[in-house]
Amino acid sequence: MSVIPDKSSDLTRRKLLGRAAAAGLLATPAASVLAACAGGSSGSKTNTGTKGPDNPFGVADNSKVDVVVFNGGLGDEYPKFDKTLFDGKHGKVTVNLSSTQKIKTEQQPKFSTTPADLINNSGADSMALDTLVNDGALTDLSPLLDAPSWDDANTKVRDTLLPGTVSDGTFSNTFYVMNYAYTVFGVWYDQALFDKNSWTVPTTFDEFFTLAAKIKAAGIAPFAFAGKYPYYMRWALMSWIWQAGGKQAMVDIDNLKAGAWKTPEVTSVISNVEKLVKDKLTLTGSDTLSHTESQQAWLDGKAAFLPVGTWVENEMRKTIPSAFKMKIANFWANSASDKAKGAVFAGSGEGWIVPKKAANAAGGMEFLRAMLSKAGSAKFAELTSSLASVKGSGDNVTNSTALKSANDVMKAASGDLVSFKHPDWYADIDKAEQNAIGELMAGRMTAAKFQDTMQAAADKVAADSSVKKQTRT
Amino acid sequence: MRHGKARFVAGFLALPVALYLFYVVWPFVQAVAYSLTNWGGFSDTQEFVGLANYTKLIQDELVRKAFWHNVFFLVTVPLFTITLALFFAFLLNVGGRGNRAGIRGVFGSSIYKIIFFFPQVLSLVLVAIMWSAIYRGDGQGLLNGLLIKVGIVDPEQPVKFVSDPSPFLGVPTVLWWLLLIAVWGGVGFYMVLLSAAMQSIPRDIYEAALLDGASRVHTFFRVTLPLLRDTVSVAWVYLGFIALDMYALVFVMTPSQGGPDHASEVFASVIQFNAFQRGQFGYACAIAVALAIFTLLLAAVQLRITRRERIEF
């Protein structure tokens, strides 16, 4: 059992990527200078083969491709399948797959001389992306985005990817990192339980409140959450605010705009959350539970809904009851008049990089193209119970209702993905927000007080000249 | 010859002292130096800001809150731990009054000694995780489950334990529940420590008291306690250090690490937040240095107050 959840969750990775991106932005001028230098001297050292729709990067026959896989939570089985795909198309090219948990220890010393051609830069011992980007040590992967996809010469790879994947891998305006795994956030429920009672998943708060009365009558708590770590509930809150007020509402909050926490849309969302607590629709004691405790209570059938990300199936695998049909739905809308109704909160992670000095960069990219194929991504989804950042990777998965439903959520996603930056940018606001959400969810703070507290925290940081400000659009 | 001896001793001490200076004293000195800068912790640039961090920490509401929470532990942890440890040690060593002659502990005292010592062999994080299950805030918590079964607690309103910021005797309830764990974890060790000290008190003193018809209570207050003064005083200082830490329990057990809503912040959690989340290493070092000065002062005062003439036996 993990005690502090952000080790196993997506949070650290999101934070890391956020910071790396921020650092990358700051270093833009330097990076472009470096890239310019590097660009002049980096002719490919191996012979290139003939380029064509089936070989867009010109991988030379009889060359070899070194691929290093991180053997962590997702295992090292899935690239073996991709190798068979690759071998099928390029019989005369040798792929050397190796897997390790010590990416940095083993790869960093070789990085400026003889690095591997494709590296799965992940895990606790991974290389700092901002440093790699700033040192100009990575190959620009945009040719991969513009190459024809593995399965259909008329579709570019770019168009087969899930939203957010390209921007998550872009640093200093260049696409350097191919994030292969995809995380979706939402409310989870047990389809078997809902079928038995003929309940349907609500699409607005009003529908939820109507359904909640029925759920409560059945002796089940409508809503459970991880109160001990309030950032779990923050994912839900931010999604609701984004849906209610549209992207601009979150941009204003992130940019510390005066009054951003007091808009009618935010007021409406927080009042709904207050009602959720006040009407005792939450699992008793949920405000004191850790993530695993609340997830187990939900699995035990004590609560109907639970907000969390797609890693929950893997995290709880040992204790999922056999009849349980785990499914995710997008966070229901705040109301029918939401400005961005149906916006989904999701993002990509698990990065793959091609070093600038790779002897066979073309081979590395070609292997990535194979990984991003329909068959490759489907195999990844099947083996890891995690979506790949390729559209429809979960289409044919039969062994996981959770994965299938996450796939469906992504298919129905409309408009921009939900994203928020203020907790990563400003530690003081992060702390104030977590404490306020904790109090709100425990019923010790009113909606109005919550908004006042958050506005005050934002105003304080906005007025503090010693805090470096960041902005987004 | 004397000269040679000094050189001999110095030769043996040189290496450990060098290691101590390098690994213990030098980082302390560095922390003091950093506390005078605005170093962020992730770059190699820093500016000298003089005592600005120290004036800032005096006005910092969070530091003030943490200070009072630590003072609470500073008073209660040694008080309850030593009182209980003394009581147990007394019962285990001289509390028994069989019909046979001589002084002994209560029946089965050697087994109790081992049981009470158990918490000491567990790592602090393990203790915190175990107590999280005991304190769990819904019907599945060990205590809540029992209390609900017995009917003392309303199933709709289980006890919140470490998630309860409401004041009890003027102090957030969460701190009282953490105190219970600290005392539970400390009693065993100090019981053994005091037991050992008690065993070094000559039996004839007790026998003399017995012959004079002194009761157990009398024996304890008139004979045992005065002869244990030195040990109790040292125990008090050690427990004071523990009370000024409390980090592991706060970090593992409380909501949002120091919550709910700052109700369980201690110095260490404030230092952690400032250094690793706000990226203000200079300021965090200043708080740490302030804590170190406070600790040293406290130990000095403590040892001075309790210094008395020693009774030789």
Instruction: Tell if the CB–CB gap between B137 and A434 is shorter than 8 Å.
Output: no
Q: Which residue of B has its CA nearest to A441?
A: B260
Predicted complex ipTM exceeds 0.90: no
pLDDT at residue B42 in the model: 64
Answer whether A287's CB lies under 8 Å from B161's CB.
no
Instruction: Tell if the CB–CB gap between A434 and B256 is shorter than 8 Å.
Output: yes
Residue B78 has pLDDT above 50, yes or no: yes
Residues 6+ apart with CB under 8 A from A397: A378, A381, A382, A403, A404, A407
Q: List CB contacts (< 8 A) between B278 and chain A.
A: 427-428
Q: List CB contacts (< 8 A) between A3 and chain B.
A: 125, 129, 252
Residues of A engaging B, defined by a Cβ cutoff of 8 Å: 1, 3-4, 227-230, 280, 283-290, 293, 297, 427-428, 430-431, 434-436, 438-439, 442, 444
Q: Smallest CA–CA separation between A207 and chain B, in Å?
A: 25
The Cα B22–Cα B36 span in angstroms is 21
Q: How many CA atoms lie within 13 A of B147 on its CB side?
A: 21
Q: List CB contacts (< 8 A) between A297 and chain B.
A: 138, 140
DSSP assignment of B242-290 equals HHTT-HHHHHHHSTTTT-STTTT--HHHHHHIIIIIS--HHHHHHHHHH
Q: Is residue B20 part of a domain?
A: no
Q: Among partner residues A3, A228, A285, which is closest to B255 by beta-carbon distance?
A: A228
Query: Cα–chain-centroid distance for residue B117?
Result: 16
Residues 6+ apart with CB under 8 A from A42: A356, A357
Owner of token pair 């002869």: B227
Write the CA distances from B36 to A77, A212, B50, integer angstroms. Answer: 52, 56, 5
Pick among A233, A283, A288 to test the B interface (most B CBs inside 10 A) = A288
Q: Smallest CA–CA separation between A261 and chain B, in Å?
A: 19
Q: Among partner residues B140, B161, B261, which is closest to A435 by beta-carbon distance?
A: B261
Q: Which residue of B has its CA nearest to A221?
A: B156
* Percent of chain A that is helix, strand, coil (3-state, to 5): 45, 15, 40
pLDDT at residue A120 in the model: 94
Instruction: Tell if the CB–CB gap between A288 and B256 is shorter than 8 Å.
Output: no
Write the CA distances from A453 to A1, A120, A261, A396, B170, integer angstroms. Answer: 34, 42, 9, 47, 24
Instruction: Tell if the CB–CB gap between A285 and B165 is shorter than 8 Å.
Output: no
SS (H, E, C) A29-87: HHHHHHHHHHHHHCCCCCCCCCCECCECCCCCCCCEEEEEEECCCCCCCHHHHHHHHHH
The Cα A183–Cα A163 span in angstroms is 12
Q: Is the Cα dihedral B187, B188, B191, B197 positive or negative?
A: negative
Tokens of B123: 């790592």
**Is the preceding peptide bond at B260 cis, omega within 30 degrees of 0?**
yes
Assign residue B162 the CATH number of its domain: 1.10.3720.10
Quote the strand ranges of chain B, DSSP E.
167-168, 171-172
Which residues of B, range 252-291, sit inside 8 Å of A by Cβ? 252, 255-256, 259-262, 273, 277-279
Residues 6+ apart with CB under 8 A from A225: A232, A233, A236, A282, A283, A286, A287, A289, A294, A306, A307, A441
Q: Smallest CA–CA separation between A116 and chain B, in Å?
A: 29
Q: Is residue B212 part of a domain?
A: yes
pLDDT at residue A311 in the model: 85
Instruction: Tell if the CB–CB gap between A290 and B278 is shorter than 8 Å.
Output: no
3-state secondary structure of A143: helix
| The residue type at A189 | Y
Q: Smallest CA–CA separation between B310 and chain A, in Å?
A: 48
Q: Smallest CA–CA separation between B240 and chain A, in Å?
A: 28
pLDDT at residue A11 in the model: 42
Q: Smallest CA–CA separation between A294 and chain B, in Å?
A: 10
Residues 6+ apart with CB under 8 A from B114: none
Residue B189 has pLDDT above 50, yes or no: yes
Task: Check residues B307 and B131 and name the one with the higher pLDDT.
Answer: B131
pLDDT at residue B309 in the model: 63
Q: Among partner residues B157, B256, B262, which is closest to A230 by beta-carbon distance?
A: B256
* Contact with chain A for residue B44, Cβ under 8 A: no
* Percent of chain B that is helix, strand, coil (3-state, to 5): 70, 5, 30
Q: Smallest CA–CA separation between A280 and chain B, in Å?
A: 10
Q: Among partner residues B138, B156, B259, which is closest to A297 by beta-carbon distance?
A: B138
Q: Smallest CA–CA separation between B261 and chain A, in Å?
A: 5
- Helices B52-59 and B61-93 sit at what angle, rounded to 10 degrees? 70
Which residues of B, range 130-149, sit inside 8 Å of A by Cβ? 132, 136-141, 144
pLDDT at residue A19 in the model: 44
Instruction: Tell if the CB–CB gap between B138 and A438 is shorter than 8 Å.
Output: no
Going by their DSSP bridges, the two strands A303-309 and A221-223 should be labelled as: parallel
Look at chain B and report how many structural domains it folds into.
1
Instruction: Tell if the CB–CB gap between B160 and A289 is shorter than 8 Å.
Output: no
pLDDT at residue B313 in the model: 64
Among candidates A214, A163, A74, A115, which has minimal Cα distance to A347?
Answer: A163
Quote the strand ranges of A101-160, DSSP E.
118-121
Q: Is residue B61 part of a domain?
A: yes
The Cα B14–Cα B6 span in angstroms is 12
The Cα B288–Cα B53 span in angstroms is 11
- Helices B61-93 and B109-121 sit at what angle, rounded to 10 degrees? 160
Q: Among partner residues B144, B165, B255, which is closest to A227 by beta-carbon distance?
A: B255
DSSP assignment of A346-378 equals EEEEEEEE-BTT-TTHHHHHHHHHHHTSHHHHH
Q: Among partner residues A230, A428, A444, which is closest to B278 by beta-carbon distance?
A: A428
Q: Is residue B167 part of a domain?
A: yes
Answer whether B229's CB lies under 8 Å from B60's CB.
no
Average pLDDT, chain B: 86
The Cα B313–Cα B310 span in angstroms is 10
**Residue ranges making up the domain that contains B162:** 35-306
Q: List CB contacts (< 8 A) between A228 and chain B.
A: 163, 255-256
Q: Is residue B77 part of a domain?
A: yes
Instruction: Tell if the CB–CB gap between B163 and A288 is shorter than 8 Å.
Output: yes
Q: Is residue B133 part of a domain?
A: yes
The partner residues of A170 in beta bridges, in order of sequence, read A175
Residue B63 has pLDDT above 90, yes or no: yes
Residue B202 has pLDDT above 80, yes or no: yes
Task: Check residues A89 and B93 and name the one with the higher pLDDT.
Answer: A89
Owner of token pair 């409508």: A222
Torsion of CA B224, B226, B228, B234, to 10 degrees: 150
A89 by Cβ neighbours in 10 Å (0-12 / 13-18 / 19+) ranks as: middle
Tokens of A43: 């002719």
The Cα A459–Cα A253 span in angstroms is 11
Q: List CB contacts (< 8 A) between B136 and chain A.
A: 285, 288-289, 293
3-state secondary structure of A92: coil
Q: Digits of tens for pLDDT over chain A (473 positions)?
A: 344 444 333 444 444 444 444 443 333 333 333 333 333 334 444 557 778 878 899 898 889 999 999 987 788 899 999 999 999 999 899 999 999 988 888 888 888 888 999 999 987 778 877 778 877 889 999 999 999 999 988 999 999 999 889 988 888 789 999 999 998 999 999 999 999 999 999 999 999 999 999 999 999 999 999 999 999 999 999 999 999 999 999 999 999 999 999 999 999 999 999 999 999 999 999 999 999 999 999 999 999 999 998 888 888 888 999 899 999 999 999 998 888 888 999 988 889 999 999 999 999 999 999 999 999 999 999 888 889 999 988 888 888 888 889 888 988 887 788 988 898 888 899 999 999 999 999 999 999 999 999 999 999 999 988 888 888 87
Q: Smallest CA–CA separation between A326 and chain B, in Å?
A: 22
The Cα B55–Cα B95 span in angstroms is 53
Task: Check residues A473 and B295 and name the one with the higher pLDDT.
Answer: B295
Band the pLDDT of B275: cuts 50, 70, 90.
Answer: confident
Q: Which H/E stretch holds residue A189?
A: strand A178-190
Q: List CB contacts (< 8 A) between A443 and chain B.
A: none
The Cα B161–Cα B173 span in angstroms is 7
Q: What is the arithmetic mean of pLDDT over B195-215?
A: 83
Residue B98 has pLDDT above 60, yes or no: no
Q: Is residue B266 part of a domain?
A: yes
Structural domains of chain A, with CATH: 5-183+347-399 (3.40.190.10), 185-345+420-463 (3.40.190.10)
Q: What is the arithmetic mean of pLDDT over B134-158?
A: 90
